[in-house]
Amino acid sequence: MRSRYLIFVIILLLFFNFCSKKQDTETEIFTFQKDLEIGVLEGNENYMFGSISEIDLDKNGNIYVLDPKFSRIQKYNENGKFLFSLLIKEGDGPDEAHYILSMAVTKNGNIWILGGDRKILIFNREGKFLKSFILDFDATHILPFNENVIFLGLRKNYILHEINNEGKIIKSFAEPYKIPSKYSSYKEIPSLKRPIRADSSWDREIFLISPYGYEIRIYRNYKIKKILKWENEAFIPLLITRANVGIGIVFPYISVLKHKNRLFVTIRGLGREAINHFDIFENFSHIYSLKVKGFPYAIDKIGRFYFAEEEDFPKVVRYVLNRKPK
């Protein structure tokens, strides 16, 4: 009888200890603290942005900002000091493009630009033009991968392709996504088989999020390392709408960033005044969510986030994420 009583007491103590730890976790919150801001409403044109569609970093902490409205890439040092502007002229010349879709900064400092009509431009770390070539498939996004890059686009039943600076495909991987039955009549549209963007980490992991559900494929060494699934009403799956002429496709726009054992997933809300949703995962378990106005495109090696914000005027804002008691 005594032994049964002791077992009951131990179980009870373990239960209260578990509840206490759970309560402690729930009383912690995450907040962003502004660390740096780049951008002005008027004045020095080197700090003015027409729009911001991407932010990238090099190994030295320099900041690269893609401004598609002004057709240029602005480079700043870690402290926000302007270094140079890489202006992409509109045209069909070797160093020209009709518009910029994406950019990536590789390990050796080269700046890759994905332009319209499948055109690729490569510049060195000083902004000097090196070469250009044409892809043999449609791509929407590029990611740095050591001295090469990863292109996102459907080609021969794969959607990720590592390409070197000679334009040669080193490796194709990642199977396309299955189109839901409700969109079966559109199954011949290639863009429905992949997301509109992807992300990579400093340790060469690549993140793809399904256009049709909150499911993140994590690739390492060209293979799936982990599939993270989560439920959140903020995620709105790919939507096809019919118009008088043709159709409209609305993709979920999401970034996945990594620092140590945490993943940070941001879901862009719909509409001009929409608030974005920010999820934090630790060891692949969800631990916190919050709302953010801007959109984080990059994270540096010490865990600082680089947001593009549009309130008042376009700007880059660097934040530190703090964890503290509520």
pLDDT of residue 25: 47
Asked if the structure places residue 173 within a domain, the reply is: yes
Q: Is residue 11 domain-resident?
A: no
User: Do you know the residue count of the chain?
Assistant: 326
- Work out the average pLDDT over 129-151: 96
pLDDT in tens, 81-105: 999 999 999 999 999 999 999 999 9
Q: How many structural domains does the chain have?
A: 1
Q: Is residue 3 part of a domain?
A: no
Quote the tokens at residue 62: 């320099």
Q: What is the pLDDT of residues 30-55, one digit of tens each?
A: 999 999 999 999 999 999 999 999 99
Put simply, whether the predicted model's pTM sits higher than 0.75 gets the answer: yes
In a domain, 2, yes or no: no
Indicate which CATH number applies to the domain containing 99. Answer: 2.120.10.30
Confidence of residue 26 (pLDDT cuts 50, 70, 90): low
**Does some domain include residue 303?**
yes
Domain that holds residue 308: 24-325
- What is the structure's pLDDT at 27? 66
> Which residues, 6+ apart, have CB-to-CB distance to 269 below 8 Å?
234, 275, 276, 277
Q: Are 312 and 41 in contact (CB under 8 A)?
A: yes
Evaluate whether residue 266 is within a structural domain. Answer: yes
SS3 string of 13-62? HHHHHHHHHHHHHHCEEEEEEEEEEECCCCCCHHHCCCCCCEEEECCCCC
Q: pLDDT digits over 263-286, tens only?
A: 999 999 987 777 999 999 999 999
Domain presence at residue 132: yes
Encoding tokens for residue 60?
Answer: 């030295």
pLDDT > 50? residue 132: yes
How is 90-132 classified by DSSP, letter by letter? SSSSTT--S-EEEEEE-TT--EEEEEGGGEEEEE-TTS-EEEE
18 within domain boundaries: no
Q: What is the pLDDT of residues 227-249, one digit of tens each?
A: 999 999 999 999 998 877 778 99
